[in-house]
Structure 1
Amino acid sequence: MTREEMYKAKNRTLAMYTSAVIIAAVGVTYAAVPLYRMFCAATGFAGTPKVGTGRFESSRLVPVDGAKRIKVHFNADKSGALPWTFTPQQKFVSVLPGESSLAFYSAKNTSDQDIIGIATYNVTPDRVAPYFSKVECFCFEEQKLLAGEEVDMPLLFFIDKDILDDPACRNVDDVVLSYTFFRARRNRQGHLEPDAPEDVVQQSLGFDKYEHGPKHEGTNESVENK
């Protein structure tokens, strides 16, 4: 093989490697949002409630007698582009670690068109997220409401009793569970996703930190100041 042929072979190999890297990078970009959500759901990172079958064993769903109750506040927000009303049916519930609790949100399509919405969520303070487990939830699921339709959406959850062994959570008395509904749109792969910039989606997944403690629904007042 001549020197010129060797250079051509090396250039072809380099071009193949470069193309492979570009294709892989594009694939990772398309998968970034679902992978991020899966990671958050599995680890409780960024204020995302943790999910997983191992956490739902009957031995863990037993209220811890003598433990202090934790007040869980419910927050509801929506995109301005979504012509719905979206509200929690209760402002808060007080639960013991290990105690399952049922809550409801209401959504109504106030437009004259059928619309699909998708809700994101997060928990504050972030250090509670690994212990906040949802058994039944409407988050990240397509919610299609017909024109003028109103629905109640259930949420079944519990705070894992392991929170009692975490020194960082020892003084936590209040938790806020926040949902944000967006109008659904189709991405380049044809999958439905929240119609919002990625930074907004990440913010609703846990980067919208409260500066002075969790806030009451519909107010700017912190829980810690009540």
Structure 2
Amino acid sequence: MSPRRRTGATLAGLVVIIAAMMGLVIGSVPLYRAFCQAVGIGGPPRQVAADSSAPSAKMVTVRFDASVAKGLQWRFAPQIREMKVRLGEDNLAVFTATNLSDRPVTGNAVFNATPDKIGKYVAKIQCFCFTEQTLQPGQSVDMVVSFVVDPAMAADPHTGEVGTITLSYTFFNTSAPVANATDERGRS
């Protein structure tokens, strides 16, 4: 094989590897959600309609955790770090996200509840994590989560002792990469 053909074959191989890696990055959020739904352990809390069970007397502490994936130039944090909630009662939590970059950025949040065994008892009625969020340069927005902790949690022998639940959200950049044929000095 000639050196020119080997170089072409190497280049083609690298292009395939890069394309596969980009596909994995783009598909990581939907793959994570599909995995959590398929195995049913831990994973994301479920989405429900606004109808919830009757509230119970039991209270739990819900903590909120927020982070952004590497490369996403956002500041993202809950407005309050924790709250006491009554099982079966509708609750609201508000998070603030700010785009720190000089361009519009679209992000998608992945969510989880811990301890893992509690995930099936946390039901989200409305959440910013159900859809992509686009923030303009410097824009800050408040994002709401409406949720219920199912009273059945208290009757479950595996979860009845849980007194603290952590709801975690991580934003990932889902903006399409923009091809730029020039370098920083304006050369092609």
CA distance in structure 1 between the aligned counterparts of 2:122 and 2:61, rounded to whole angstroms? 13
1:153–1:135 Cα change, 3 Å: same
Instruction: Give the structure 2 partner of residue 57 of structure 1.
Output: 51
Which digits, 9 at most, give the CA deviation of each residue in 1:9-45, with x for residues without a partner? xxxxxxxxxxxxxxxxxxxx99896465256358753
Aligned pairs, number: 153
Q: Secondary structure at the match of 2:36?
A: helix
- Report the counterpart of residue 93 of structure 2 in structure 1: 103
CA distance in 2, matches of 1:186, 1:165: 46
Pick one of 101, 117, 123 that aligns with 1:133.
Answer: 123
TM-score normalized by the length of structure 2 = 0.72
Among residues 80, 101, 117, which one is paired with 1:90 in the alignment? 80
Contact 1:71–1:175, Cα closer than 8 Å, also in 2: yes
Q: Measure how far apart 1:140 and its partner are.
A: 4.4
Letter in 2 for 1:153: M
The CA distance in 2 between the partners of 1:153 and 1:39, in whole Å, is 25
Distance 1:185 1:132 in 2: 29
Written as runs of structure 1 = structure 2, the 5 A alignment for 1:32-71 is 34=30, 37-38=33-34, 40-41=36-37, 44-53=40-49, 56-58=50-52, 60=53, 62-65=54-57, 67=58, 69-71=59-61
Matches of 1:108 and 1:33 in 2, distance apart?
A: 21
Give the alignment's Cα RMSD to 1 decimal.
Answer: 2.5
Residue 162, structure 1, aligned to residue 158, structure 2:
no
The higher relative CO (CA closer than 8 Å, separation ≥ 6) is in 2
Once residues 33 and 75 of structure 1 are traced to their aligned partners in structure 2, the CA distance between those partners, rounded to angstroms, is: 18
Q: Identity rate of aligned residues, in percent?
A: 39
State TM-score, norm by structure 1.
0.61
Q: 33-42 or 106-115, which moves further after superposition?
A: 33-42
